[in-house]
Amino acid sequence: MEHQQDDQKKNSQGGGKKPKVSIWAALLITVGLILIGNFIITAISNSQYTHTTYTEFREEMNTGNLSEVMLYSDRIVYMTKEMAAKDPSQQKACFTGLPYGDVRALADELEAQGVKVDQDIPKDNSLLMTILSYVVMFGLIFGVMSIMTKRMGGEGFMGGIGSSKAKMYMEKQTGVTFKDVAGQDEAKESLQEIIDFLHNPQKYAEIGAKLPKGALLVGSPGTGKTLLAKAVAGEANVPFFSISGSDFVEMFVGVGASRVRDLFHQAAKVAPCIIFIDEIDAVGRSRDSRYGGNSEHEQTLNQLLGEIDGFDSSKGIVCLAATNRPEILDKALLRPGRFDRRIVVDRPNLQGRLDTLKVHTRKIKLSEDVDLQKIAQATAGAVGADLANLVNEAALRAVRNGRKAVNQEDLLISFETVIAGTEKKNTVLTDTEKRMVAYHEVGHALISALYKEDTPVTKITIVPHTEGALGYTLYLPEEEKYLSTREELTTNLRSLLGGRAAEQVVFATMTTGAANDIQRATALARNMVALYGMSQELGLMAPASVANQYLDGQTYLDCSQDTSAQIDQAVQKLLNQCYEDAVNTLTQHRELLDEVAGYLLAKETITGEELMKFVNAGKEETTTEKPDEE
């Protein structure tokens, strides 16, 4: 047992990083070197003779000028009497090709002239000896290469081409535990039960429960699926095999299936254990018959299905897999008895984001003014990877500014940097462009401030940024919301179109600055009509569906052309109505629009509190004017 654990520890530390020795490439290089060496030896050997034609040889033979002749199977080496009379150090024989014919007759003719003849007569078993020599030569090459690859960490002559590439971890060598994972309490609870089953199987066996064979981690990129799997490795105290789905895919037929067999064979030796397959959609994609039924992909998937069915769950082998594309996985892979559980690793809520920020700031020096609650509130929709990047950017900014601790401003500016990029200090706008950008951004902000259903404004700036924005309006929600009413979504549309409405009210023109606003407004309006059932024209019909909900979440229509045309008309009608509302609202509050825009032009950046001072002052003036009018 101690020897087995030592082998496992060695495997966890360095076994996963074996040098990739290409045996076939080495073989080709060796054969090439042999051919090149043979060519060089032949060239050197031929350089010792003077090359002549067969006609010249016959002339020397007919004149009786030959002294010695050596007959080979493919050439003739000879020496004339003049050459033989020279000093041995200066003698250089001639050679020429041997044409097809009776070599014995040529030898007899030369002997009749008194020429000394020597002949290389092939033996009867020369062909067999030649074949045997090649077999022995290549056998030696294969043997030497096999020994070399094994010493270099390979898997014999084939270089482990059919063996599993899984890395194995033991105990807490991953360096990650459940304490390092925040905001995923439900997922941790499900995985904790699996770990407990591995540690105390008798507790579940007494009641008749069976260990789940597999669990599928599903969620958006960056939510922490792989981190959760590593935390399982840190908590389990059992061997943990980690492999990517792409490691099964090869151009050679049967290699993927062989690697699956080898992986489960290794796992059976050290059970109880956990197998983690990251990005399982690379190998578990749904099967079809478009390209035939004998592809390498299908063989690998079939082998995976068979291996999951084949092992005994009582032995304690659990398969974990992660993907962000569950809709393309084969149905046979998801049925009960294989991947029994689907664990959704969703975007964290407010409390989850706060806990995640606390995890990522444990090793960061924070100043006293840092309020992680506000940062968590501002980052609605962010995943764990986004929050980790935000904290790191804040730390880098603190170092750039010569401070030894991260303050609240660092965190907020880092959040804005992720959204809009860094400031473009060299971009100089003309006065006209600056006024247009200022009115455009104030148009967004005023619509949001005047309609209380919308998210309050936190910051307005007309400083250009690297993400292509000449300015932006930042909204921070006051509370976590999971549902949106039709009125709230309509107000969002008015706010998105408020920038274009301000351009129309003030300058009576349109600019390209509203391009992104219009795209977002169109997408929201289309979802309201085709997905949420919020239009009078289509009613409770939802002709749109969401594809890849954990990736881009784009929608696609599954309806007739007539229905699609009705959707376009309903979207256009909704956008036109919201645009008219925005124009009317800004026209009624034209003085307030001019005041805030002028203040923004002077300061370039204002806060939501400064904006609300103007808005509240305008409301008080309106209230005091009403009794006078009566």
Alpha helix stretches (DSSP H) within 243-330: 255-269, 296-310
Report how far Cα 504 is from the mean position of its chain's Cα atoms. Answer: 45
| Residue given tokens 């090869």 in the structure block | 250
Report how far Cα 224 is from the mean position of its chain's Cα atoms. Answer: 15
Residue 286 DSSP class? P
Cite the active site residues: 441
SS3 of 265, please?
helix
Output b/e per residue, 426-452; b: 16+ Cβ within 10 A: eeeeeeeebbbbbbbbbbbbbbbbbbe
Per the CB < 8 A criterion, the answer to whether 208 and 201 are in contact is no
How many other C-beta atoms are found inside a 10 Å radius of the C-beta of residue 108? 11
Q: Which helix (H) or strand (E) holds 78?
A: strand 75-80
Q: Is the bond leading into 201 cis (omega within 30 degrees of zero)?
A: no
What are phi and psi for residue 438, nearest 5 degrees?
Answer: -65, -50
Per the CB < 8 A criterion, the answer to whether 165 and 247 are in contact is yes
Per the CB < 8 A criterion, the answer to whether 264 and 273 are in contact is no
Per the CB < 8 A criterion, the answer to whether 78 and 110 are in contact is no
Tokens read off for 495: 């706010």
Per the CB < 8 A criterion, the answer to whether 460 and 445 are in contact is yes
Per the CB < 8 A criterion, the answer to whether 274 and 232 are in contact is yes
Per the CB < 8 A criterion, the answer to whether 461 and 471 are in contact is yes
| First CA to last CA distance, the chain | 96
Beta-strand ranges (E) seen in 432-542 are 457-461, 472-475
Tokens read off for 514: 């509203």
Alpha helix stretches (DSSP H) within 48-184: 54-62, 81-85, 103-112, 126-151
Which residues are within 8 A (CB) of 176 and not within 5 positions of it... i.e. 6 or more apart? 227, 230, 231, 233, 234
